[in-house]
Every structure is written in C-alpha cells, then in structure tokens.
C-alpha cells in the first residue's frame, strides 16, 4: 500500500483535537509498519502513549486505499466506548458487538454486509459465541485487512490479567495468512510475557518497546490497617487534593461502601463496578467532564479509560500484582506535569488477593465433579442444572466449564444451552499451567508486599524494574508526600458510619429450579406467602459490627448488648410499615440458644413480645457448606416447621444471625405466612460477605 505521511498526521490532529499535535516517538513508525504490511507488530508502550491512534489511523489509511475493514479484540466495555468515540472523531466508522448491546446486533451485522463498518470491536468471549462465529465472523473473515489485539498481555499465560478466551485468538492467529496485518498492543509486558507473545503471535514478530518511566507521577505507599483509618484519610485528603481522579478498591462491596462514606462527607463521587450496569457510560462521562471529584471503582474501570488530566489514582487496598498496579495507576497524569499515585494498604487485602488466587482455577475435585455429573447425563446439562448436581458455586461451575471448553481438544462442548462430554480427555498440561500460574500469582503478591514497604521516591524505579524496563531515567518525585497520619476524630466518625450502615435483604420471588419436593412447592412464590424486604446490620467479619458478630458466634456464644442496641437503631431508622407486632427467630439444632437469646433481648428493647414458633425438624449440614443456591434451597427443604396451633396476630420481625442464600429466611417467612402471620420483616446480624 502507498503510505501517506501527511494524511496520517492530519488524522492524528483531528483525532486528538490538537491542530499542532505531532507523533510521539515510534508512533508514526508503528502506523507506517502496519499500513505498509511489513509484518506482524507488537507495540509495548506506557499508558497514555497513544496506542489506539496507531490502529485507528492505520485502519483509516487502509480503508481509504480500498482495503477491507479491521477487527479489534478488546477486553473491556469501558475501553470499547472510549475507542468508538476516538475513532469517530477521525471519521473511522466503528461498531461493537458485545453483551451490552444485543438490540444493535442485527443492525451492525447488516452494516458489515454493506461494507459500512471500518473497524469492528469485540471482546475475546465473543469468539466463543456460536451465533457470532456463524453469522458474522464466517462472512467477515475473508474481508479483514487487519487484526488488532488490544491489551495483548491478556493472551499470555503469564499476563497479569489473563483472560481464558484470549486462548481462542492463539488458535485464530495460527490459521491467518502470513501476510495479514496483525497489530498487538499493551502497556504491561515484562520479558516473560514478551517471550510468550512472540511465540503465540509469530512468526517474525517485530516489537516496538518504549520507556516505562512516568516522571509526572508521584508514587507513595501508606499503611493504614483498619478500614476506618483509610476512610478517614480519604475524606480528609480528597477535600484538599487538586483535580479529579479514581479510587480503586478490590471488591464491589468496598467500592459501594467507600463511595457512600465520601458522599456522607459532602464529596461528589460515584461507585463504578461491574454491577453499575447501564449507568457506567454516564459515570465515565461525569469523570471526563469533571462533574465528580472521583469514581470509586473496581477493575471494571481500567484498561483504556482515557482521561489525560486525571490528577490522582488512589488504591484503597493493595492490588495483586505490580503489572496490575502499573496499569491502573498509569491512568493518572498523562497530560499533567504532576499527579499522585497513592497506595493505601490494609489488613484485609491479603485475604482478598488470596481468594482471587485460590479461585482462579478449578480444583481437580471441581473438574471431577462436573465431569461425573455430565457422564451421568448423555443429553447434557445446563449450568443451572449442574448446580443441582454438584455442590459448587455457579461461578466455579461456569469457570470450570469455560476453561475445559477452551482446551484443545476440549473435553466438553456446548449443544444449545447444554454442555456435553466429548471423547477428549483433559491432559496434564491443564494442571501444569494452573500450577505454574498459581505460583506466579503468589510471587506477584509478594512483590506487591515488598512495594508497600518502599521508602518515598523508590516506587517508580521498583515498578519499572519489575516490568523489565530501564529504571535509570527515574527522577525524584515532583510533588510532596501526602500525610501519613489521620485525624482521630474523623476515624471515630468513620467507625460510626460503618456501624450505622445496613444492607438490604431482598425477598426471593421464585423457588429453585426443580422446586422444593418436601414442601411440595415450585415456580413463583405466592405474593401473599413471601417475605417483605429485610435488613442486615453488617457484613460478616467486616469493619464496623462485623467483627462483633464473629466474636459472638464463634468465641463468646453470645451476641453482645451493643449488637442489640445497633439493631434497635437500625430498625427505628428503617421504620418498616406496617410495624411488627411481635418477634420470632430462625431455629437451630447446633446453637439452640444463641439466636433465640438475642431475639428475646431485641424484643424487650423494642417493647414487643417474643414467641418461638418455628422448630428444626431434622439436622442438616450447615448452610455455609452448601456452595450454590440450589443446594442451599434443597438443604432447607422440609427441615423447618411451625410448632404452634395458632400464630400471634399481626406483622412479625423474623431474626437470624447470618444470611447468605436467603433460603432459610425465605422458607421461614413462607411458613409463617402460610400459618396465618401478618407481613414478615426479616433481619439478620450479618451477611455472609461472599462476592
């Protein structure tokens, strides 16, 4: 193809919005390399360098010369939205097919058929979708002039954000014509990842690798073990920090909690997680236009989110790896002379990152259970049906199935909505890879723990060295350290906030698939037999009241009067209508007095009578040993009964200590309503905390 430098520069200036913009080092070389079809190229450049300009400008140049469209594989929906906006600025017609826009699929497919799309953006998971492969990819493949793999570290077993479906790309790449243009981009690839990518994306993969140093970033670590200390620090510093930024948390629950705390202090923030749903674009725009001080986000807001003037990125907890941290903190200071990257370290973070490491791969027993269940059902089983056959969470079943289906040859295959066994057997290579990656994650975790202990001014050099870059160019941070201490009065207010925060208990609306055989019910739960929305005081073991609940259940065998007072305050604030006229509780054979004793004292404090009207009729395993909702429902089926001829009149407060699947409360409320009680208002001391 004939390459036009003037046109490439014009597109850069249109796309960036700067009429005097010039190419960064190696940027134009990468565009020329791809546009002229010289070979396969891997671009490793720090966040903010402008990798998306390389593939959008190359796509536009190729299309203007009459070549076919490009296919871009991108890992996150937020990244896709950013990319489409950037593409449209320079006249590149971009479209996406993803799980969030099924209503647009037919129109996008029609536009592809009419050659009206310049670049199609998909997630790697779309490559496993049968409809996409047959309706789109089969017809589109012959026209493609360029394949772009964004965030290419995800294709590597060594990558910090390994996405199993990127393994499909490895197979696709091996079938591509040698002369098809292939561009892979990433900001975070150490030598091990680079070697892996060279093997997967080769042969003859050219690599353009830039400097990883970010001189605009002032990095700092602050150890504040208790959540209340970190909440106080955030509230105090955000009130004075200049500019706008992102606060990262490890869990959805913490993102919501931190956002609510900061809002209570008068700060304009929003929580941004995988559960934010259709408000995610709205919140992205709010941050881009400085309408919020910060987004409190999980990794759902990560790779590719582009706000060049982010003034700070603060981590509420330690991420699991250096490369994950570099990726996230690199959002800050792209177009600013100086910005902060602050890592707050807390005592709960190791438990959280341990959970991520331990749940990344199924165990041998998980795989054996799933395969045994499928062996007994030649017609196959759906994931909901598997939940009734194996005592695993839905997430672990889905992950097991996904990883097995991506093996080559795969021991399972999907027919319609059901999974069936194939003739293939799972090889030891699967377990070798799982063991290797688990060991790597442990090393990465230890590396981050070393990072936390570094003195001021040594952090950037540590990150660059960990990424196998050259740390010699690192200079002293431009900004002063932020305070290490916190206002004790503000810490007490944070403790009070944590203790007055309650969580909703949503009523179940439907019995599990297959119903409840012993209770002889199935389908929807009758409106007049279901519970009302309830309240939980806290999350099990968390800051606030969670530690008190754990202490009472497993050490003291007695829930303190402080928890009684906290529940009274929660109920008065909640003010359910019609108001409860009496109190009862969920029975237990293992701890027959623990919850009734608490419920009686709560009833006295509320000035209501207590009646023990429910009994356990059979001893079952503890609910916490049941891994998914179906197993938990069947574990309760037939095990609770009403033991009085006539229930007290009026609405009732139904008390339990822990709530997880909600089946115990659902069945108890159903029985109370069935035998003539008024509305049932469930309360629990704690939610289990499973996410």
In CATH, what class is 217-349+444-487? alpha beta
Q: Tokens 């393994």 sit at which residue?
A: 167
Q: From residue 614, how far is each of 319, 552, 579, 647 by CA, in Å?
A: 46, 23, 21, 10
Q: Which of 45-49, 320-324, 357-361, 455-459 has the largest mean confidence? A: 455-459
Q: Tokens 């009130």 sit at which residue?
A: 239
Q: Mapping DSSP to helix (H, G, I), strand (E, B) and coil, where does residue 103 land?
A: helix
- Supply the pLDDT for residue 162: 67
Range of lowest pLDDT (174-183, 354-363, 365-374, 656-665): 174-183
CA–CA gap between residue 256 and residue 616 (Å, rounded): 36
For 443, left (φ over 0), alpha (ψ -120 to 50), or beta?
alpha
Q: Predicted confidence band at 308 (pLDDT cuts at 50, 70, 90)?
A: confident
Common-topology check for domains 217-349+444-487 and 502-687? yes
CA–CA gap between residue 544 and residue 548 (Å, rounded): 8
Does the pLDDT of residue 546 top 70, yes or no? yes
Mean pLDDT of 57-78: 88
Percent of the chain at pLDDT exceeding 90: 66
pTM for the full model?
Answer: 0.85
Mean pLDDT of 234-261: 96
The string of pLDDT tens digits covering residues 106-133 is: 898 889 889 999 999 888 888 888 888 8
Judge contact between 501 and 242, C-beta under 8 A. no
Neighbours of 450 (CB within 10 A): 11
Paired residues of 312 in beta bridges = 245, 340
- Supply the pLDDT for residue 278: 84
Which listed CATH number (3.90.1170.40, 3.40.50.9100, 2.30.30.40, 3.40.50.300) goes with 5-209? 3.40.50.300
- Supply the pLDDT for residue 80: 63
More confident residue, 25 or 130: 25
CA-based R_g, the chain, Å: 28
For 162, left (φ over 0), alpha (ψ -120 to 50), or beta?
beta
The string of pLDDT tens digits covering residues 177-212 is: 777 899 999 888 888 888 888 888 877 899 999 888
- Supply the pLDDT for residue 622: 86
Q: Predicted confidence band at 609 (pLDDT cuts at 50, 70, 90)?
A: very high
Q: Which of 242, 223, 204, 239 is nearest to 339 (CA)?
A: 242
Range of lowest pLDDT (296-305, 383-392, 661-670): 296-305
Judge contact between 595 and 586, C-beta under 8 A. yes
249-287 CB burial, b ≥16 within 10 A, e <16: bbbbbbbbbbbebbeebebebbbbbeebeeebeebbebb
Q: Which of 372, 365, 284, 273 is nearest to 316 (CA)?
A: 273
Write out the two tokens for 604.
């006295």
CA–CA gap between residue 442 and residue 540 (Å, rounded): 26
Write out the two tokens for 481.
């350290």
Q: Which of 46-60, 62-76, 670-684 has the largest mean confidence? A: 670-684
In CATH, what class is 357-433? mainly alpha
CA–CA gap between residue 474 and residue 215 (Å, rounded): 7
Percent of the chain at pLDDT exceeding 70: 97
Q: Which helix (H) or strand (E) holds 632?
A: helix 629-636
Q: Predicted confidence band at 79 (pLDDT cuts at 50, 70, 90)?
A: low
Report CA 399 to chain centroid distance, whole Å: 14
Mean pLDDT of 469-496: 93
CA-angle at 72, arms to 68 and 74, nearest 5°: 170
- Supply the pLDDT for residue 535: 96
CA–CA gap between residue 551 and residue 547 (Å, rounded): 6
- Supply the pLDDT for residue 691: 42
- Domain 502-687: assigned CATH number: 3.40.50.2020
Task: Spell out the domain ranges in the chain.
Answer: 5-209, 217-349+444-487, 357-433, 502-687
Write out the two tokens for 648.
């007290």
Mean pLDDT of 532-553: 90
Q: Which residues have CB under 8 Å from 621's CB, separation 6+? A: 635
């Amino acid at each position: 193809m004939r390459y036009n430098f003037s046109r490439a520069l014009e597109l850069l200036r249109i796309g960036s919005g700067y009429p005097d913009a010039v190419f960064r080092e190696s940027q134009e070389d990468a565009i020329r390399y791809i546009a002229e079809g010289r070979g396969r190229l891997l671009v490793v450049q720090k966040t903010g360098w402008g990798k998306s300009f390389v593939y959008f400008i190359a796509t536009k140049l190729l299309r203007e010369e009459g070549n076919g469209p490009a296919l871009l594989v991108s890992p996150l929906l937020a990244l896709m939205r950013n990319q489409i906006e950037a593409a449209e600025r320079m006249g590149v017609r971009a479209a996406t097919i993803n799980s969030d826009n099924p209503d647009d699929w037919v129109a996008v497919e029609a536009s592809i058929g009419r050659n009206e799309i310049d670049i199609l953006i998909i997630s790697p998971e779309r490559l496993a979708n049968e409809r996409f492969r047959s309706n789109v990819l089969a017809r589109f493949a012959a026209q493609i002039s360029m394949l772009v793999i964004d965030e290419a570290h995800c294709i590597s077993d060594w990558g910090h954000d390994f996405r199993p479906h990127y393994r499909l790309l490895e197979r696709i790449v091996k079938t591509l014509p040698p002369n098809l243009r292939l561009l892979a981009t990433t900001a975070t690839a150490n030598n091990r990842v680079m070697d892996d990518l060279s093997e997967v994306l080769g042969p003859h993969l050219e690599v353009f690798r830039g400097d990883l140093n970010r001189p605009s970033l002032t990095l700092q670590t602050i150890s504040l073990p208790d959540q209340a200390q970190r909440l106080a620090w955030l509230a105090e510093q955000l009130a004075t920090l200049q500019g706008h930024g992102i606060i990262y948390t490890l869990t959805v629950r913490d993102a919501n909690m931190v956002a609510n705390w900061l809002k209570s202090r008068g700060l304009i923030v929003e929580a941004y997680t995988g559960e934010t749903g259709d408000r995610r674009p709205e919140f992205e725009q709010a941050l881009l236009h400085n309408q919020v001080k910060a987004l409190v986000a999980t990794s759902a807001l990560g790779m590719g989110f582009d706000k060049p003037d982010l003034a700070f990125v603060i981590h509420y907890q330690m991420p699991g790896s250096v490369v994950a941290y570099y990726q996230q903190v690199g959002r800050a200071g792209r177009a600013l002379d100086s910005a902060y990257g602050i890592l707050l370290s807390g005592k709960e973070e190791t438990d959280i990152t341990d959970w991520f490491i331990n749940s990344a791969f199924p165990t041998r027993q998980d795989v054996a259970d799933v395969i045994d269940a499928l062996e007994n059902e030649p017609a196959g089983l759906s994931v909901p049906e598997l939940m009734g056959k194996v005592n695993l969470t839905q997430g672990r079943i889905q992950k097991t199935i996904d990883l097995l289906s991506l093996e080559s040859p795969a021991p399972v295959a999907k027919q319609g909505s059901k999974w069936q066994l194939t003739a293939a057997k799972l090889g030891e290579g699967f377990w070798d890879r799982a063991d290797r990656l688990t060991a790597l994650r442990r090393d990465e975790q230890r590396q981050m723990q070393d990072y936390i202990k570094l003195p001021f001014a040594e952090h950037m050099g540590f990150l660059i060295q960990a990424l196998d870059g050259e740390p010699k160019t690192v200079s002293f941070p431009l900004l002063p350290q932020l305070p290490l201490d916190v206002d004790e009065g503000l810490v007490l207010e944070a403790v009070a906030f944590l203790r007055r925060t309650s969580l909703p208990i949503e009523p179940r609306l439907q019995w599990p698939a297959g119903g409840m055989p012993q209770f002889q019910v199935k389908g929807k739960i009758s409106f007049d037999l279901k519970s009302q929305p309830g309240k939980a005081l806290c999350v099990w073991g968390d800051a606030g009241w969670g530690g008190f609940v754990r202490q009472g259940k497993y050490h003291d065998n007695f829930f303190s009067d402080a928890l009684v007072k906290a529940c009274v305050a929660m109920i008065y604030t909640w003010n359910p209508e019609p108001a409860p006229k009496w109190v009862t509780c969920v029975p237990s054979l293992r701890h027959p007095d623990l919850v009734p004793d608490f419920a009686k004292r709560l009833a006295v404090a509320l000035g209501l009578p207590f009646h023990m009207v429910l009994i356990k009729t059979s001893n079952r395993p503890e609910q916490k040993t049941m891994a998914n909702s179906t197993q938990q429902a069947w574990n309760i089926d037939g095990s609770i009964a009403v033991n009085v001829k006539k229930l007290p009149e009026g609405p009732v407060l139904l008390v339990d200590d822990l709530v997880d699947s909600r089946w115990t409360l659902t069945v108890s409320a159903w029985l109370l309503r069935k035998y003539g009680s008024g509305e049932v208002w469930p309360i629990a001391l704690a939610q289990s905390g499973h996410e």
